[in-house]
A = this chain, B = another copy of it.
Amino acid sequence: MTELPRTARTTPRTHSERASRELEAVHAIVDEALCCHVATSVDGSPRMAPMVHGRLGARLILHGSRSSTLMAALAAGAEVCAAFTLIDGLVLGRSAMHHSLNYRSAIVFGRAREIADFDEKSAALRVLTERVVPGRWSEVRAMSEREVHATLVVALPLDEPSAKIRSGPPLDPASDVDGPWWAGVVPLALRSSAPIPAPDLPAGIAPPASVREFERRMQRPR
């Protein structure tokens, strides 16, 4: 396990028992999340959007339109905070105070920079697809040079991250445990159902291995 040094921003002030600074824990959460939330300040005001992301080693890859205010701020090197949140269950304690979620959450701070080099950008665009559906990149129509140029791609170093994980049953005070109230967890997970072919798909084209594997993986509870 690679333990990262703490900074003021990544030192938890609440629920420190849930905190992790293991790089592997952060990467696992980043890799499992289908999207993240990216926040920055524009003229002192917070801006945020959900975004699809990729990971290229220790760098988070984000992409978007050049006309997006948030993407423009990211490309200009603004300070960024990105959050990755996986919900694993609803925790139902004996009192309202002890209701919670089971979750795995990672927060990353840093400054992004635009990836302009064509080959580096192509590699970054590739992981945006491949992280979620490994194998998909080589099964689809190859990206054109024009498409690569049209997209704004930025990389954010994952070197100031933190993770918080809550798992397991509710933790009620001893004075409540013998009471008449039910307590427990309802497990939750993002699950897939069967692929729906596009209405304009020509007859005879079946879902490829990458899509079938994604669906199979997402059917299983963790």
Size category, A interface: 35 or more
Partner of A201, one of B81, B126, B184, B191: B184
Question: Is A208 a contact partner of B185 (Cβ separation < 8 A)?
Answer: no
Q: Known A47-B9, A101-B35, A184-B195; judge A202-B190 contact (CB<8 A).
A: no
Question: Is A34 a contact partner of B181 (Cβ separation < 8 A)?
Answer: no
- List, in ascending order, chain B residues with CB within 8 A of A96's CB: 125-126, 128-129, 136-137, 140, 143, 147
Secondary structure at the A interface, as helix, strand, loop or mixed, is: mixed
Q: Is A218 an interface residue (CB 8 A)?
A: yes
- List, in ascending order, chain B residues with CB within 8 A of A100's CB: 52
Q: Known A137-B96, A140-B96, A197-B182; judge A52-B101 contact (CB<8 A).
A: yes
Question: Is A189 a contact partner of B188 (Cβ separation < 8 A)?
Answer: no
A108, chain B: closest CB distance, angstroms: 10
Q: Is A200 an interface residue (CB 8 A)?
A: yes
Q: Is A1 an interface residue (CB 8 A)?
A: no
- List, in ascending order, chain B residues with CB within 8 A of A57's CB: none
A30, chain B: closest CB distance, angstroms: 14
Q: Known A13-B69, A90-B132; judge A202-B218 contact (CB<8 A).
A: no
A222, chain B: closest CB distance, angstroms: 10
Question: Is A14 a contact partner of B183 (Cβ separation < 8 A)?
Answer: no
- Measured CB to CB, the nearest residue on chain B to A139 is B181
Can you list 17 A-B contacts (CB < 8 A)?
A9-B45, A39-B47, A39-B48, A45-B79, A46-B46, A48-B48, A48-B107, A92-B133, A93-B140, A94-B141, A96-B137, A97-B147, A186-B196, A186-B215, A187-B193, A188-B190, A190-B190
